[in-house]
Amino acid sequence: MIRQVGELTLPPTQTPTPKTAVVDSLMSDRRTEKRCDVCLDAVWDGKSGNYIARVTDLSEGGCYVDTLGEAQVGEVLTFKLQLPDGEWLELSGEVAHQTPPLGFGLRFVNLSDEQREKLRSLLDQLEPPQNPASAILSY
């Protein structure tokens, strides 16, 4: 029996298999840095070209990059993150995992002391106060 799937006709022994990304369930257990939910513009340059992106999760060790561009696990990218003041912070990172066509996780590599300091400063600026009462009292 031949199956009709949309406009694709498959022999009886084949069924369409959706593309899925395997994400290590222990990934969050390996993370030691504080993570911030963010929405920052970014651009990146890899083997497949130059792309615009949005960063939605950020820590000192890496970030999640929402992008339609695809990068391969292990690929080292040039990455620019737009800071809230409009300045661009250039970083480099290795693709740790991917979820095509949604994006990929990037682990920062070979950062200078200046890059690390700017990243820490950004994270401190984005991090909400630990004690909500202290935020009200400091207002």
Give pLDDT tens digits for 37-57: 889 999 999 998 999 999 999
- Judge if pTM exceeds 0.75: no
Residue type, 76: V
Could you give phi then psi for residue 37, rounded to 5 degrees?
A: -75, 125
Give pLDDT tens digits for 82-125: 999 999 999 999 999 999 889 999 999 999 999 999 999 999 98
Give pLDDT tens digits for 57-73: 999 999 999 999 999 99
Identify whether the C-beta of residue 15 lies closer than 8 Å to the C-beta of residue 8. Answer: no
Return the domain boundaries, the chain. 33-123
Residue type, 129: P
Q: Which CATH number fits domain 33-123: 2.40.10.220, 2.60.120.260, 2.60.120.10, 3.30.70.980?
A: 2.40.10.220
